Chains A and B, each alone.
Chain A
Amino acid sequence: MQHPNFETQHPLQQDEKEWDHLFQNSNYLARIRRAGINGRLRSSRFRSVCWKLYLDVLSEDKTQWISRTKVHRAQYEKIKETHITNPRKAAGQHDLVVNNPLSQDEGSLWNKFFQDKELRVMIKQDVLRTFPEMLYFQEEDVRTKLTDILFCYARENERLLYKQGMHELLAPIVFVLHCDHQAFQHASETANPSEEMKVLLDPKFHEHDAYAMFSLLMETAEPWFSSFEREVRQGKEEMLTSIPFARPQDSGPSVAIVTKVNRIQDQLVKKHDVELYMHLNRLEIAPQIYGIRWVRLLFGREFPLQDLLVVWDALFADSITLDLVDYVFVAMLLYIRDALIASNFQTCLGLLMHYPPIGDIHSLLLKALFLRDPKNNPRPVNYQFQQNLDYYKTRGADLVNKTRTKAAPLNINKVSSSLLNFGRKLIAPMGGGSSGISPINNEVISAPPPQAPVPRPLAEPPSCTAPSNTQMKSQPFPQTHHQHRLLKSESLPVHLSKDVGSGGASQISLPAQIHSDTPGHTSRMVSSSPSTESLSGGTSSPPLSATKKDSFFNISRSRSHSKTINKKDEELEVQVSFLQGQINDLEAMSKYCAKMMNMHIGKIQDVILQEHLEKEDEVLVSLAGLKQIKDILKGALRFSQSQLESEENEEITIADDHYCSSQYSTLKDQSDPDHLSEDTATEGRNWDDYILVLQDGEPSESEEQSITTTAPLFKHVRGLNKVDFQDPLMGTTSGSSSPDDGSTHSKDSDFTIVNPTDL
């Protein structure tokens, strides 16, 4: 994005230009730090150089770059010689008494040899499991590099040795170096680059440079991997352990990582969100359950690689002490705080351990900066945690990133080139995107009455494929009037396929995912029923009367969906995050409109009531109409309620079910009969992914309800081919090319219901 002449210039010219842009200025280090923090290295071809500066592999003084680099490389050369290439020579002993193969002597070379072998096997085991979805890490020489570096590090740091997770700190470093090398080689084929560039970006020293960067990163990260116990320091923490109701994590000696994550939860989270803090404490969710992985891998499993690199840009650029980690941690918790607060133990764990995709990684970083230093960082404008509609797209219904690992391995060239092109893609038109995206937007939205009895059974983690996948996320709108929170209707075990007969539609699937906007007002619900395969034999089918009453739409979805999606490359991800951003903006806008409308309507009403106008009634009725629109904007009233008035009017294309209908139209061809759940068959609907089940017999009742409450009834419009993404809840969102689509449905004629309470 910062290279407008990207296409027209010679690659090396761009390189030089970018190089100068980054490193020429007298105060360049501060500048590139800002660039890293602000996400402007996303498409840089010198990210590795920036990282070297951040990590103090290179000094700020540019004249020392080449010499420092040579020193580091020579050091690694020596280290590798000592530990790998020729360990015997290093020891320089030929005494058979000590160096006997059968000797158990500590100093015995043979003993060391066996230890080395064991250590290598352990490292190799994790290296083989590094980013399994990326072709690059399947290459044998890359794996050897990773193993050698980790082995050398372990031998140089005997106290720590190798700890699981280090491999995933090293891998992105190796990858970033590789990408920069590739880009540089490509550019330098036809021109002569500067000496510094040639030395710094020399692929021959890939391994050396990676080692230097990794070991400097580990200087900060080391305590997080260490399992050495130490007494918890005196002070606040000491007091905690002596309180009568000390939690298990409070007692006893502690390792550094446990202390760290507990300090984050007990101090930072408490400070910034007491309610969330209390909730996590009440559920006794110790932060080490989810937080250890977050911190150790620097969030490596929580974000897709492209986003992860942006997070690391910021973490490294900010300070080599990685001080920002704590605040990213808190920002991540706050992002899903409403969903957490509305969830029970199991669902919370699901959310925390299989973190939902974040639409805009940059807003998360801004939030983290703001949390740390609110005076010097702007409050993020739109830091609302919207439910991510693509949660199931990327995560599928899965637990341990399975969908990712199952996906076709990424093509390395594609990835590195996409690194370069990322910026452009972001602003590129969505052309072709809508068709690609339509299958994603396949969630059906419903708005249960605010006071609806919501089933509240045991929880089920969102990302488990066990019978139903539940998830709830909500936007924080603390000012919402109805504080009533929808509790997750999680985990009524779904009745699966085998013997659906008796129960009929209501039995088929459960509300499995609820997105609640403005807690208590509306909620979107998606039931992604587990694929039949995930339910071996006996799965339970508990009563569903509670949900039936709400006439929720039940959608079931098959596994094939996530597979399809996962095959798409990150281009789609970019588009999705772009759209997500648009949706966020539009949602925020409509909330704002609602708020302002509310204020003005209130004023007008006050005046009218004082004036005792002749046609006061008519004005009040109109005002009531305006209030409705306000409620729709706010998301408190369903956009399409008028439809309920005229059941037979199938032409109205308010696409409540646009997800399904688009699903229907786009997925039909892709549908894989193997994945057709038996539910689908029973219902005679051939939708592969989502099945709408209209709760027949409910309409009349719901119709009544709908006048006073927001009725949840869904109307399925058959054969609708629209792939527009309109969120009927918000009335303003649009996922397809035209964000204005929503407004076409906002004609007054669509709203014919007068809310009696307003009259």
Chain B
Amino acid sequence: MQNNRKEHLYKILVIGDLGVGKTSIIKRYVHQTYSTNYRATIGVDFALKVLNWDSETVRLQLWDIAGQERFGNMTRVYYREAMGAFIVFDVTRPTTFEAVSKWKEDLDSKLTLSNGQSIATVLLANKCDQKRDFLTNNSLKMDQYCKENGFVGWFETSARENININEAANFLVKHIIASENDILKSVVPDTISPQLNSDKEMTCSYWLSLD
């Protein structure tokens, strides 16, 4: 087996209004299962997913933040050191889409990368199995919306039918790696542990050599 394999650890937030399917998406992505029986998330929960990324290992720490937590000052602690985010809404409930921009604002106001950029954020239109015509009716509008609101992209997803979950995650990871490389280039080139967060000395991503 190859030694000295590069490892990346990324913290990814999964946010959005309550009941849009955040936990289900994570469950589907990490455990390949779906149930209608998940309990409401209280506060925050997390899960881990390991990916082979080219010759490297990517660990995703997925933070599942309860829908109601946007209120109050709690999210700041949950957000810290995240490298990417999914903002989820439920295509069958317009109010959850209205909340998307509020979540995005909350996120951008509390978290930026060291270069001042906001973290890579992907919009997920979940429960698309319940509203098949969503894509055909809204595709262009959604592209426009993402551009205007600083999302790197969007996917219509279904945790139930396992639609686009892996694709969305891969897409996000790609953007995270790209933005990380940008930062690395701009920071002192020979640091071993890049400082990715402006206000804290902790790093969100690091390399680990195993021998």
- Contact surface of A with B, Cβ cutoff 8 Å: 118, 122, 125-126, 129-133, 163-165, 167-168, 227-229, 248-249, 252-255, 258, 284, 286, 288-290, 292-293, 296-297, 301, 346, 349, 353, 398-402, 405-406, 455, 457-458, 460-461, 464-467, 491-493, 495, 502-503, 507, 533-546
Which 6 pairs show the lowest CB-CB distances between chains A and B? A538-B52, A227-B72, A132-B37, A405-B37, A540-B57, A292-B43
A493 to B33, CA, bound (A): 20
Q: Are B35 and A353 in contact (CB under 8 A)?
A: no
For residue A252, which residues in chain B have a CB less than 8 angstroms away from its CB?
Answer: 73, 76
Q: Are B27 and A541 in contact (CB under 8 A)?
A: no
The CB with the most chain B CB atoms within 10 A, among A118, A122, A458, is that of: A458
For residue B41, which residues in chain A have a CB less than 8 angstroms away from its CB?
Answer: 164, 400
Q: Are A542 and B32 in contact (CB under 8 A)?
A: no
- Contact surface of B with A, Cβ cutoff 8 Å: 1-3, 5, 7, 9, 18-19, 23, 26-27, 30-33, 35, 37-53, 57, 59, 61, 64, 66-68, 71-74, 76-78, 80, 95, 166, 200, 202, 208, 210-211
For residue A132, which residues in chain B have a CB less than 8 angstroms away from its CB?
Answer: 37-39
Q: Are A538 and B211 in contact (CB under 8 A)?
A: no
Given the known inter-chain contacts A249-B77, A543-B5, please indicate yes or no for A465 contacting B30, CB distance below 8 A. Answer: yes
A370 to B71, CA, bound (A): 36
Q: Are A493 and B19 in contact (CB under 8 A)?
A: no
Q: Within the complex, which residue of A286, A292, A464, A538 is in contact with B51, where a contact is CB–CB below 8 Å?
A: A538
A598 to B80, CA, bound (A): 50
When C-beta atoms are compared, the residue in chain A nearest to B169 turns out to be A536
The CB with the most chain A CB atoms within 10 A, among B1, B39, B45, B78, is that of: B39
For residue A131, which residues in chain B have a CB less than 8 angstroms away from its CB?
Answer: 39
Q: Within the complex, which residue of A125, A293, A458 is in contact with B208, where a contact is CB–CB below 8 Å?
A: A458
The CB with the most chain A CB atoms within 10 A, among B42, B67, B71, B80, is that of: B42
A539 to B53, CA, bound (A): 9
| Consensus secondary structure, chain A interface | loop
Q: Within the complex, which residue of B3, B31, B78 is in contact with A534, where a contact is CB–CB below 8 Å?
A: B31
When C-beta atoms are compared, the residue in chain B nearest to A461 turns out to be B48
Q: How far is the CB of A408 from chain B (nearest CB, A)?
A: 11
For residue A541, which residues in chain B have a CB less than 8 angstroms away from its CB?
Answer: 1
Given the known inter-chain contacts A399-B47, A461-B48, A538-B51, please indicate yes or no for A545 contacting B211, CB distance below 8 A. Answer: yes
Q: Within the complex, which residue of B7, B27, B208, B211 is in contact with A402, where a contact is CB–CB below 8 Å?
A: B27
A542 to B4, CA, bound (A): 8
For residue A537, which residues in chain B have a CB less than 8 angstroms away from its CB?
Answer: 52, 166
Q: How far is the CB of B91 from chain A (nearest CB, A)?
A: 16
Q: Within the complex, which residue of A118, A164, A167, A288 is in contact with B67, where a contact is CB–CB below 8 Å?
A: A164
Q: Are B67 and A349 in contact (CB under 8 A)?
A: no
Given the known inter-chain contacts A399-B31, A402-B38, please indicate yes or no for A543 contacting B2, CB distance below 8 A. Answer: yes
Q: Are B18 and A125 in contact (CB under 8 A)?
A: yes
Given the known inter-chain contacts A402-B27, A534-B32, please indicate yes or no for A165 contacting B42, CB distance below 8 A. Answer: yes
Q: Are B9 and A458 in contact (CB under 8 A)?
A: yes
A289 to B208, CA, bound (A): 26
Q: Are B42 and A293 in contact (CB under 8 A)?
A: yes
Q: Are B50 and A467 in contact (CB under 8 A)?
A: yes
A402 to B30, CA, bound (A): 12
A349 to B32, CA, bound (A): 22
New A-B contacts (4) at CB < 8 Å, excluding given A129-B39, A533-B32, A541-B1:
A252-B73, A258-B73, A465-B47, A539-B50
A126 to B66, CA, bound (A): 12
